[in-house]
């Protein structure tokens, strides 16, 4: 642990510093991976903001998010996955497609870094086109 890089994160919602805590201290009985860590707002649970950390070096996986943003990011990931499946793309191709659509480069096109607005954009981009003549496809 001595050589581990320190990541000083600040909560984007309230400005309080984030603390690296075991995921189980936030998820409790719902913890899937007991060895994983999160950066959690020091005002948690009053301020519901956190982000997962990489297990290897505890690098944050994106920016800290509250419940509503976390939900949006999950939906954006699902939308992109569905598109990837429909178009028979691999994950890499799906991200290249997303980068082109959003005008972002590789380092920016990470759903874990997106705002709610960006997530909504991803979701609408991935939505299948509405058939002409109206009516939703089943
Ligand atoms: Zn906070």
Greatest C-alpha distance within the chain: 64
**Cα(57) to centroid(ligand 1), Å:** 23
- The residue extents of the domains of the chain are 1-64, 67-126
Q: 48: which residues sit within 8 A by CB, 6+ positions away?
A: 41, 66, 67
**Cα(79) to centroid(ligand 1), Å:** 28
Percent of the chain with pLDDT over 70: 92
**Cα(21) to centroid(ligand 1), Å:** 15
For ligand 1, a single-atom ion, which residues have Cβ within 5 Å? 11, 13-14, 16, 41, 43, 47, 49
Whole-number pLDDT of residue 33: 87
Tens of pLDDT, residue by residue over 23-48, are 999 999 888 888 899 999 999 999 99
**Cα(126) to centroid(ligand 1), Å:** 31
How far apart are the C-alpha atoms of 109 and 111, rounded to whole Å?
6
What would the mean pLDDT of 108-124 be, rounded to a whole number? 96
């Amino acid at each position: 642990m001595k050589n581990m890089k320190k990541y000083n994160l600040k909560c984007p919602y309230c400005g309080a510093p984030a603390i690296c805590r075991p995921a189980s201290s936030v998820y409790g009985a719902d913890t899937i991976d007991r060895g994983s860590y999160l950066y959690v707002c020091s005002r948690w649970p009053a301020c519901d903001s956190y982000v997962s950390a990489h297990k290897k070096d505890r690098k944050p996986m994106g920016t800290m998010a509250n419940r509503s943003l976390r939900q949006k990011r999950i939906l954006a990931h699902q939308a992109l996955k569905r598109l990837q499946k429909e178009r028979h793309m691999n994950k890499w191709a799906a991200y290249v497609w997303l980068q082109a659509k959003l005008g972002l480069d590789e380092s920016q096109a990470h759903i874990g870094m997106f705002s709610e607005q960006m997530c909504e954009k991803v979701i609408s981009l991935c939505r299948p086109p509405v058939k002409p003549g109206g009516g939703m496809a089943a």
